[in-house]
Structure 1
Amino acid sequence: MKVACVGGGPAGLYLSILLKRQDPSHEITVHERNPEGSTYGWGVTYWRGLLDRLHEYDPESARAVEEHSVTWNEGVALVGDRATRRPGDQGFGIGRHRLLEILAARARSLDVRLEFDQEITDANLPEADLVVAADGVHSTLRGQHADHFGEEIRAGRNHYIWLGTTKVFDAFTFAFVETDHGWIWCYGYPFSPERSTCVVECAPETWTGLGLDRANEADGTALLEKLFVDVLDGHALIGRTSAQVGAPWLTFRTLTNRTWQRDNLVLIGDAAHTTHYSIGAGTTLALEDTIVLADALRGHPSLPDALARYEQRRRRELLSIQSAARYSAQWYENLPRYIDLPPEQMFALLGQRHSPLLPYVPPQLYYRLDKAAGQLEALRRFKRWLGPKVARTVHARALASRK
């Protein structure tokens, strides 16, 4: 099969790896619009479940990804001068540049052809049995057939900016700072021994009140360093440029499509769907798309059947995650509802922000109910653990009494 992957991000590269591993005779080319080595973003976050799947599908690239990742096992919430630290699942961070280097090197080792500085449109679309649009939320190929795909984009309310920092966080960190114009907060996590990602978010009134809508990137970054000086321990924030007018603040765009396929063209990753960055799943979901698409292509000789199977399965798997992302975004958009709670309660509800019930239940009542439910579940687990032990003891004593 001849395959053209349009987009040289993690999804396009990893799909090329999987397809080449399935059948080395596939002729696969990855087309990337940007020069090699140029990419946006800082660190990519993921969790153990994804790493286990990567080891299953391509152990060589998985080992390299794990080797160049940093980990954490705790979450920290800082609200003004109040702090709460809690244990959590093991998280992983890796620099986006490093991840792309690993996947590109692995793809080349399998004889995948990589072409950079190539903007692919309908006018120069390569001849291929399968064309994969892995070119992100601003996908050119999807945009040229927007009516067919039925794309719908909803912009979130809050503004955010994606920055790096020389501060190396030792846990996934949430920090909330109150200003004269409302709250502003950041999410920080390490992605190398020297750098961390720091995403800053605030409501539109705070954004304009602080003058961030008018500041160039250098001035805006300097203001954010002052606001988060305690969180950053005096370390610098790093932007993309030092003199750009109109710093790259964004509102998150939630993208959905009525269908993900058109003839031999199929959408994956952010070209097909997006989920709010506050659940840290964008790269994971894109890579999982590639795994399901590769499996479908291997299991269904008919291309239409394979693409239909891929879309059906991924849509089903994404339902709960997309719901969680929507509620997570709404939690931050309604931050005043939670911010004055005691730190342990606020952090607990931060962890419960994916719940569809939370917006409709008074926060303190929800906290008490959730805590009671947790204690009940702990009791149930204890009883399940204790039951077999008691049964064995009773059985042993019964046998002994018969002797």
Structure 2
Amino acid sequence: MRIVCIGGGPAGLYFALLMKRQHPEHHITVVERNRAFATFGWGVVFSDATMQSMHQWDPQTAETIEVAFNHWDDIELVFKGRKIRTSGHGFVGIGRKKMLNILQDRCLELGVELLFEKDVNGDEEFPDADLIIASDGVNSRIRTKYTDIFRPDMVVRPNRFVWLGNG
């Protein structure tokens, strides 16, 4: 089977490595528009439950990621001089670039083909693919092209983003 993942973020890379691990005979390519080992964004946060699932499906990748993560159970918010602390959350966080580097390295180790600096305009660029994974983010060109089929439902809210990490 020939599989193409359009988008080399965490979702596309993790899908590719898990599929290659389960089916080494498949030819899997991840196509990313940015440079190799480059990224935009700050960090990735997973719950302890997510890490347990990652250990189940690929212990080697999970171990590498877990060693690089920072773990915390408590969240402390300081707002207008007042400190509020809550416990028992169980989260791990890692810089996005470090996470992508780990996933890229693991993909290469397993034999996944990684193509960088290639901007994909549509699925028709891969006529020999048996399966195309649209992992190209919130503004996916593939999902936009097939809006009538996928019927995405997106609601934009006025929420503010908060990075709960050090450094």
Whether the TM-score (by the shorter chain) exceeds 0.5 is yes
Aligned partner of residue 149 in structure 2, secondary structure: helix
- Equivalent residues, number: 166
Cα distance per residue 1:34-87 (max 9 Å; x no partner) = 111221111111111111111111111111000101111212132312212232
Contiguous gaps of at least 5 residues in structure 1? 162-185, 196-403
In structure 2, C-alpha distance between the alignment counterparts of 1:187 and 1:96, rounded to whole Å: 12
Question: 1:131 — aligned with what?
Answer: 132
The letter for the 1-side match of 2:148 is: D
| Shift in CA distance, 126/98, structure 1 to aligned 2, threshold 3 Å | farther
More off after superposition, 74-83 vs 25-34: 74-83
Question: 1:137: Cα distance to partner?
Answer: 0.6
Percent of residue pairs bearing the same amino acid type: 37
The CA deviation at 1:104 is 0.6
What is the match of residue 51 of structure 1? 51
Which protein is richer in helix relative to its size?
1
Contact 1:4 1:126 in 2 (8 A): no
Q: Give the CA deviation at 1:189.
A: 1.7
Structure with higher RCO (Cα < 8 A, 6+ apart): 2
**TM-score, length of structure 1 as denominator length:** 0.39
Structure 1 residues 120 and 46: CA distance shift in structure 2, 3 A: same
SS at the partner of 2:87?
A: strand
RMSD: 1.6
Q: Which amino acid aligns with 2:164?
A: G
Aligned to 1:108: 108
SS in 2 for 1:45: strand
AA matched with 1:5 = C
Q: Is contact 1:74–1:88 with CA below 8 Å preserved after alignment?
A: yes
Partner residue, 2:4: 4
Alignment of 1:285-304 (within 5 A): none
1:188 has 2:164 as partner: yes
Matching of residues 25-104 of structure 1 within 5 Å:
25-104=25-104
Shift in alpha-carbon separation, 1:86–1:153, aligned structure 2, 3 A: closer
Q: Which amino acid aligns with 2:17?
A: I
Uncovered stretches (5+) of structure 2, i.e. residues with no partner: none
In 2, are the aligned partners of 1:142 and 1:149 still within 8 Å (CA)? yes
Scaled by the length of structure 2, the TM-score of the pair is: 0.91
- What amino acid maps onto 1:131 in structure 2? I
1:118 corresponds to which residue? 118
3-state SS of the aligned residue for 1:104? helix
Name the SS for the 1:155 alignment partner.
coil
Alpha carbons 1:6, 1:133 under 8 Å: kept: yes
Show the 5 A alignment for 1:115-194: 115-122=115-122, 123-158=124-159, 160=160, 186-190=162-166
How far apart are 1:126 and its partner, in Å?
4.5
Counterpart CA distance in 2 for 1:92 and 1:13 is 19
